[in-house]
Structure 1
Amino acid sequence: MDPIETTVAAVRDVGPDAVAIDLDTPPAFDAEPGQFVKLTATVGGKDESRFYTVSSPDTDDTFEFTISYDPEEGGAFSEYLLNLEAGDTVTITGPFGDDYYEGEHRAIVLAGGPGIGPAVAIAERALAEGNEAAIVYRDDTPLHEERLSNIANAGASVFVLSEDESLTDAVADVLTNADGEQVFVYGFADFLKDATAAIEAAGGDADAAKAENFG
């Protein structure tokens, strides 16, 4: 999709130093949980862009992305996003990415840090479609805790780990290696390395995982 201007519908706190931004869905725009968009804005007199993963289960009417920030080290682009209000306009391009939910019977999402956005989106979508879901999430300051609780109450397995905890036992608990099961991995490079090791330790095929490296 070519760059298109759309409107901010809402901005909500979703945890320590984190917000979710809802955008009105432009005509003909459609994205699946796990895909991402490019957000462009004029900051300090020049255009700057960042990529954000969709964190809503669908893009009907509105869609969401989640931003975590460091209040001491955040840059001008972060400040711009944090000051957005309902009614403001932004420019998006996309969606991008091939590693997204496609109706798999059982979705296992391993998420580190900002990977929580696609994790809750995929799990909610899977459950809404009558499929199974599980989340293993590692972060010292968990986000979207209410959504994680609702996902667990809906019957999914949800593990929230601190950053010094191993993924091995939790991944072994949720991974069945049955037909129709798909593993998704979202996070920074060190998390992907740990997730790969945990999948292999549980007898899974890490190469078959759908994964996005956030840097």
Structure 2
Amino acid sequence: MPTLTVAAVADVGPQTVAIELDAPASFDAAPGQFVLVRRPGDGDAGYYTISSPDAAETFEITVGSPEGESPEESLGTWLAARDVGDVVEIEGPLGNVEYRGEGDVAVYAAGPGIGPAVGVAERAVEAGHDATVVYRGENPPHRARLDALRDAGATVAVVDALDELDADHPTVPTPAVYVFGFDDFVEDVKALLEDADRDPAEAAIESFGPA
């Protein structure tokens, strides 16, 4: 398993940090894919979705650190305590959900899904395409990047429930739909797509399992 160096660490929300890692020369990854992360010399490992728009020289993962848990108890807390120059073990990229700038996108996200959501939307905007991000929940991490996306012309909606969406948030007509979140959220988005006469099987979905 390759050992990568931490290039930057930044607080991006409550109990959430973004960790930038030096990318190996052969690392061909896109937002939506994920990596297996392990602390060196330890069996503790976890999956983290790439949250940067590309992985040219570095790539980013977004990490939640559970409140009240020590670095010995939680991989997320251990990762959040890393400093520039520290190393972690990485396997990947993994997964078939990825976005490489092919066209307009609508991205639905909840919880840790905000990481890949901003990465996908930024990649779309950089390629000259329209992007919509819908986040279900309060106080999303990466608020600064969401604001920058809005300033760049993307549509950004932060809602308590998906039924709050209206004509000001034209998400469903977008040809490409991406979904990142836990099982219950994924099912809600599938229902939303079906109500709009869209086949959920056409969406690129990465479910993180039970909440």
TM-score > 0.5, shorter chain as reference? yes
CA contact (8 A) 1:175 1:202 kept: no
CA contact (8 A) 1:171 1:202 kept: no
Q: Which TM-score applies when normalising by structure 2?
A: 0.91
CA contact (8 A) 2:34 2:49 kept: yes
Q: Secondary structure at the match of 1:126?
A: helix
Q: CA RMSD in A?
A: 1.8
Aligned-pair CA distance for 1:168:
6.1
Aligned-pair CA distance for 1:79:
2.7
1:9–1:154 distance in 2 versus 1, CA, 3 Å: same
Q: State the AA in 2 paired with 1:72.
A: G
Matching residue of 2:80: 82
Distance 2:4 2:45 in 1: 15
Q: After superposition, what is the alpha-carbon deviation per residue over 1:19-67, rounded to whole angstroms, capped at 9, x for unaligned?
A: 000001112112011000011114xx73221110000001121110001
Matching residue of 2:15: 17
Q: After superposition, what is the alpha-carbon deviation per residue over 1:143-170, rounded to whole angstroms, capped at 9, x for unaligned?
A: 10010011011111110112xx234635
Q: Which TM-score applies when normalising by structure 1?
A: 0.90
Matching residue of 1:190: 184
1:167–1:144 distance in 2 versus 1, CA, 3 Å: farther
Q: 1:29 aligns with which of 23, 27, 47?
A: 27
CA contact (8 A) 2:178 2:205 kept: yes
Structure 2 spans left out of the alignment, 5+ residues: none
CA contact (8 A) 2:107 2:178 kept: yes
Q: State the AA in 1 paired with 2:183.
A: A
Structure 1 spans left out of the alignment, 5+ residues: none
Distance 2:15 2:27 in 1: 29
Q: Secondary structure at the match of 1:190?
A: helix
Q: State the AA in 2 paired with 1:193.
A: E
Runs of 4+ in 1 over 6 A off after TM superposition: none
Aligned-pair CA distance for 1:107:
0.7
Aligned residues with identical type, % of pairs: 43
User: Which is strand-richer, 1 or 2?
Assistant: 1
